[in-house]
Structure 1
Amino acid sequence: MELRKNSTAPEPAVSIPVTVSKRKPYWYKHWQIYSMVLPGLIYFVLFKYIPLTGVVIAFQDYNVFNGIFGSKLVGLKHFYNLFTYPEFLRVLKNTLLISIYQIVLGFPAPIALAMLMNEVRRMFFKRTIQTVLYLPHFLSWVIVGGLVINFLSPSSGMVNDILRWMGKEPVFFMQEPGYFRSIVVISAIWKEVGWGTIIYLAALAGINPELYEAAEVDGAGKLKQAFSITLPSLLPTIMVLLLLRVGNVLDLGFEQIYMLLNPLVTETGEIIDTYIYRIGLLGGQYSYTTAIGLFKSLVGVILVVGANQLSKKTTGNSIY
């Protein structure tokens, strides 16, 4: 008897290809945001990182005509000269003293000013004070230096006019080495103290007002509130700005000192930046001054890292 094939038997399965969509990377999905970062990234690469290759001339007797590849390597010769030249040691001492004065006297100034302005309740009066204090920041040191020289002029300066009115002899402030550092510190505070209050006023705006109300209920006065509420709330901001300031301890800025400096006060007023300009650009000692710049950068990095670790262990606040 012949067996018939079962007509109901299942047919063989047909494999259908399945296309798996690849997940797009994060940067591709958000390319608009990354495109906004691109100009800043290109700027840093072109003007910050590529020029770093030029530090090689600090280890050469660099000659403009021979170029970097044709100049003779001398190793650490210029770094050795840094600490054997009495002139550089004098300049380093001036830079450190002026920088320490600015940190001790200038750094607390915007903090105190912001705390005082925060107590002003009349908005028109407060905005007027802010505008007046902010204006010097937008003036160049060429203008501010000229104002300082005119104010302290022995013949027509306002300060010496007051001294004459008090029956005293005029003082040649700009020609006396003993006054120069004080003039630099005071003029820097006057120019930047208003601008520095912006960050602290923003931090003060974030303090919960209920803390002050509770302190008033407990009988705390304004001074007690300042030390118990305001300063502890500002501590994270203060520490971050102080750490950044410590990293620039050897970088005072060229413009201010150059505008106020004169041959009579060079002994106590010349700093590393003006020394580099005089010796490097005017004197043509490019390798020596490049070594000075590299030394400044290394000191800045060491100070920032060390101060950051110290701050992290003592206060718990750090920049990274």
Structure 2
Amino acid sequence: MRKKALVIAAAAALMTLSTGITAFAAGWVKEDTTYGVKWKYVYDNGDWPSGNWFTDPDTQLVYHLDPDGYRMTDTTVEGFWLDSDGVRQEKTEEQIEREAREKAQKAAKPNPGKKVAADKVAGIEAKEKKAASSTTRSAYISELKTIINTISRELNAARTDKNSVQLLTTENNLEVARYFRTTSGVDFYHFSMWTSKKDKAQTVDFMYMYDAAPEADCELYNTVYEQTVVSILGETEGKKLTDYVQSQREQGVTKLDSTGTTDTGNSYTMKYRNNRIDISVTCSEVVPQETEGTETAAEAN
């Protein structure tokens, strides 16, 4: 096939010399092969690309060419589907997330760093969750980072007053925190995740002050508070606690204390004083899949 292209190029060169006009323009050339009709991109000098990805300079469509330079069709290359014309189909967000999840799950199986890989899986899968379900500190935090980021992003899109409250984040080797601060410097929402039990026995500290948010979006912030409680305690225990506290507030109660267990077995404490609620969660560090019965996983930190 290359010989044929060279003959074309030679003829084009002769015509160019005799007429002063380029007789052979770069473009797709159809060729009959033993495998049927194939398409190859031939440059105006007779050369052609092969064995790699190729972007059509005119249409910007992307193809993958075989070693002979022909378009590959109806197949998958490097995770991308090439249609019947050979055009690369870009991956959907769902496909990208699925591949990331599968890659993380695969890495989690035989890898000595299995725990780290498993935490990444937990964080990816949390995109579809309202509550963290892990019982180890690092995996629980990985899930919550994803969930709280989603809650904050949706809050920012929905609120009508974006000037009265700052949505702030800090992160260091000890703490990952998200807090909402008014223009007067009052933090009425503070969510902290502690990465090492050497510094904090608990994994999460959450504080919320009722009725401290700007009036325009007060109900929206109250909803975010409820979503946050669900994220750390579970959909059942989280709703149970927020309903209980609200019922007591409506009766004029200003002081409450309670302890409990999250939907997945982590422990928590709750303290309510005069419109301020504080909740702390401590991970059980029990990893059921590693044992029969109950066994405590050693926490590296």
TM-score band, normalised by shorter chain? under 0.3
Higher helix fraction (1 or 2): 1
Higher RCO, 1 vs 2 (CA within 8 Å, ≥6 residues apart): 1
What is the TM-score normalised by the length of structure 2? 0.23
